[in-house]
Amino acid sequence: QKEVEQNSGPLSVPEGAIASLNCTYSDRGSQSFFWYRQYSGKSPELIMSIYSNGDKEDGRFTAQLNKASQYVSLLIRDSQPSDSATYLCAVNEGGYQKVTFGTGTKLQVIP
């Protein structure tokens, strides 16, 4: 059973702070990694994708991947109240289109 694990939270951070979201996965063959944001009652939207070890930055967001540790994280700098949402980590094994989602971490940014 391939698993993707996240702390459900909620993770509360003050406005302007850095939010750090973490995810571990069980399948060493995984090759594609994603962070999706889901607002309550809405469908997920892609925040970041990362495919190789290291950091990938896009605006206030940085994804970090460590395949040896089977760990992927998302950093949100200068957190804003509008960042308050559930963040879903998703992993794809590679060679297959199936994507497995974690249970999500609820982030609350406090003004």
Partner 1 sequence: GAVVSQHPSWVICKSGTSVKIECRSLDFQATTMFWYRQFPKQSLMLMATSNEGSKATYEQGVEKDKFLINHASLTLSTLTVTSAHPEDSSFYICSAEDPSGANVLTFGAGSRLTVL
Q: Rounded to the nearest whole angstrom, what is the least distance from the CB of residue 16 to partner 1 in the complex?
A: 28
Distance CA(107)–CA(11), nearest Å, equals 5
Residue 8, both tokens: 């459900």
Distance in Å, CB of 92 to partner 1, minimum: 4
CB 97 to partner 1: min, Å: 6
| Residue 88, both tokens | 């879903």
Cβ nearer to partner 1, comparing 88 with 107: 88
The residues that bridge with 101 in the sheet, in sequence order, are 90
Residues in the site for partner 1, rule: CB under 8 A?
32, 34, 41-46, 49, 51, 88, 90, 92, 97-104
Report the first-to-last Cα separation within the chain, whole angstroms: 40
